[in-house]
Amino acid sequence: MRSKFQKYTLAALAAVAAVAAANLTLSSTPPAHAEDISSLSSSQLQTLISSGASLQFDASRFSVAQLTNLVVSARNAGNQPTNLTLVNVGKFSSSDLMIVADAGKGHVTFILDK
């Protein structure tokens, strides 16, 4: 029979294992059948970024204000080296990109359209 302490210890170990598995999933190459990141909303991306995930995604789906919020989250992610790579930025003006770059303070990379 398990004591109350042993039950809590097992629950804590399970929680730590779940967090570790989630971190490994975020930092490893996703399997081919993984959900496409392009379907994630701005708030879902912000949650990942705040957790320390570095991401590459299609910027054309978002407004300048949303991108600014995302890069600020990357900049403020704590001790994590969090960077965002924004692709398909051709719809934005150079002043829009300057706003986003200034907000990111080195945590954002733009990949210009070909």
pLDDT of residue 29: 47
Higher pLDDT, residue 22 or 57: 57
pLDDT at residue 114 greater than cutoff 70: no
pLDDT at residue 15 greater than cutoff 90: no
- 85 contacts 52 by C-beta, under 8 angstroms: no
Boundaries of every domain in the chain = 40-111
Q: What is the pLDDT averaged over residues 31-58?
A: 80
In this structure, which long-range contacts are made by residues 27-35, counting pairs with CB atoms below 8 Å and at least 24 apart in sequence? 27/53
pLDDT of residue 20: 42
Higher pLDDT, residue 18 or 52: 52
CA distance 19 to 9: 15
Mean per-residue pLDDT over the chain, rounded:
77
**Cβ partners under 8 Å of residue 27, min gap 6:** 53
C-alpha distances in Å from residue 63, one per residue of 2, 5, 67, 74: 54, 50, 6, 17
